[in-house]
Amino acid sequence: MAIGVIRETERRPLPFDKLGVIIAALALYGAFLAPFATFRANRIVQGEGKAILEALPPSLGYGLLAVVMFGAIVAVLRTSVLVRMAAAFVALVALCFLVGRAAGSLAPADNAYARVSPASGFWVLVLAFALLVADALTRLNPGPGLRLLFLAGALALIGAMLATGQWDGLSILKEYASRAETFWAEAGRHLTLALGSLAVATAFGLPLGILCHRVDRLRAAVLNVLNAIQTIPSIALFGILIAPLGWVATHVPGAQAIGVRGIGVAPAFVALFLYSLLPVVANTVVGLAGVPRAANDAARGLGMTEGQRLVRVEFPLAFPVILAGIRIVLVQNIGLATIAALIGGGGFGVFVFQGIGQTAMDLVLLGAVPTVLLAFMAAIVLDALIEVTGPKHSRGKAA
């Protein structure tokens, strides 16, 4: 009995939220112990960290501290999910808005060389409240439509911040301003590489997957070859393709006219295509194999031809699994397209590797942040699509 009594007291819920304690600790560290913004006299010198009250005018500084403290208290106490979400949202908006203001108040507008960038304190605060949002979202468990709405809202907010010039004083946007045209050209190239290779891989991979599903002996061979391709590191595969494509460009008439070159976009495109094939083919095979025998028998009983059965029964049933393969490819391609810059293929990697070369970290961010955002968006959108098309009970990837 004694054991039972002890257990009872142990089970009583704590007055505090455990995750909230961690979030609050992070928030307090970020607000009081770490620098909020970094000020540098020019682009590549070592910067000096400024705390919130140094970086912002007093009214805004104390205001931000109050918002952060409020958010931390909401996180620690066992509050309702919606309250937590709202507090985190307010804190995030305040942080994003004020980091732009910090740039304005630290560097005079007429000083073209001075750079202000968000420092560790800012990032820790963003992390803390992003965790709070993620936790609230996980507990709310919103459906696909609502998730897309949240995404659209977040993007609209970022867009508004950019459009109204709130962040113009930040160094990452100064890097952008001095190369806006290149930025959009590389963005276009990045998307062409990632989406184009996905489209071609789907066009080839689907029939190949269907073929592999039907012909047992082909399946193992094709999947083994595609698996082997995945083990080749991306920069090597990009490099290896330079030679054959260079040969094609010089020996096949018309190849150059459609943009085939040894160096540049072509080898990157082909490499991404090769990497994309495995998830598409493998998931097509798995999806088709998972079609219940009863469904196929029923279709045969109705007198459907092979083609009809494929289009009307097998394919719709396998579609969510195939879509999951496409999600893997898209997220992977958006990341891998960064490497294309190393072989002159363009894309956001241009800024990443240029920045690494010049030790200009803002330039690295200019390449890395859009890449991460794109991958993140692609994942959310496709996850929602998979859920909408899939059976009701299969929710999420985990388990």
Partner 1 sequence: MPSLPTLLRLAVFLVLLAFLLQPGLFEPLFEPLVQENAPAVYNRGSLFWLTLLHLRTVLVATLAATVVAVSLAILVTREVGAEFLPLSRSLVNIGQTFPPVAVLALSVPIFGFGEKPTLIALFLYGLLPIFENALTGLTTLPLAVIEAARGAGMTERQRLLQIELPLALPVILTGIRLSVVISLATATIGSTVAAKTLGEVIIAGLQSNNLAFVLQGGLIVAALAVLIHDMLQALERTLAGRTHA
Q: Which of 162, 235, 295, 381 binds partner 1 (CB under 8 A)?
A: 235
Helix (H, G, I), strand (E, B) or coil at 227: helix
Nearer to partner 1, 211 or 372 (CB): 372
CB atoms within 10 A of CB 165: 10
Between CA 129 and CA 149 the distance in angstroms is 19
Q: Which of 24, 135, 208, 210 binds partner 1 (CB under 8 A)?
A: 135
CB of 195 to partner 1, least distance (A): 15
- Binding marks (x or -) toward partner 1, 72..111, rule CB under 8 A? ----------------------------------------
Count of residues near partner 1 by CB under 8 A: 50
Between CA 337 and CA 189 the distance in angstroms is 9
Q: What is the number of helices (H) and of strands (E) in the chain?
A: 19, 3
CA-closest candidate to residue 339, choices 254, 265, 285, 259:
265
Query: How far, in Å, are 90, 127, 132, 133 from residue 139 at the CA level?
Result: 19, 18, 11, 10
Choices 52-60, 252-260, 307-315, 368-376; region in contact with partner 1 by CB under 8 A: 368-376
CA-closest candidate to residue 343, choices 245, 267, 251:
267
Between CA 27 and CA 72 the distance in angstroms is 7
CA-closest candidate to residue 390, choices 315, 321, 309:
321
Contacts 24+ apart (CB under 8 A), 234-239: 234/271, 234/275, 234/336, 234/339, 235/339, 235/342, 237/271, 237/274, 237/275, 238/267, 238/268, 238/271, 238/339, 238/340, 238/342, 238/343, 238/345, 239/267, 239/343
Choices 107-115, 151-159, 309-317, 367-375; region in contact with partner 1 by CB under 8 A: 367-375
CB of 372 to partner 1, least distance (A): 5
Between CA 172 and CA 185 the distance in angstroms is 18
Q: Which of 187, 232, 286, 317 binds partner 1 (CB under 8 A)?
A: 232
DSSP bridge partners of 49: 38
CB of 19 to partner 1, least distance (A): 6
- Binding marks (x or -) toward partner 1, 8..47, rule CB under 8 A? ---------xxx----------------------------
Nearer to partner 1, 284 or 333 (CB): 333
Q: Which of 83, 221, 243, 298 binds partner 1 (CB under 8 A)?
A: 243
- 355 near partner 1 (CB under 8 A): yes
Q: What string of H, E and C letters represents the secondary structure of 140-158?
A: HCCCHHHHHHHHHHHHHHH
- 265 near partner 1 (CB under 8 A): no
Nearer to partner 1, 197 or 234 (CB): 234
- 231 near partner 1 (CB under 8 A): yes
Q: Which of 197, 276, 283, 371 binds partner 1 (CB under 8 A)?
A: 371
Choices 55-63, 290-298, 299-307, 328-336; region in contact with partner 1 by CB under 8 A: 328-336
Choices 167-175, 197-205, 286-294, 347-355; region in contact with partner 1 by CB under 8 A: 347-355
- 293 near partner 1 (CB under 8 A): no
- 398 near partner 1 (CB under 8 A): yes
Q: Which residues bind partner 1 (CB under 8 A)?
A: 17-19, 131, 134-135, 137-139, 228, 231-237, 239-240, 242-243, 331, 334-336, 338-339, 342-343, 349, 352-353, 355-356, 359, 361, 364-365, 367-368, 371-372, 375-376, 378-379, 396-399
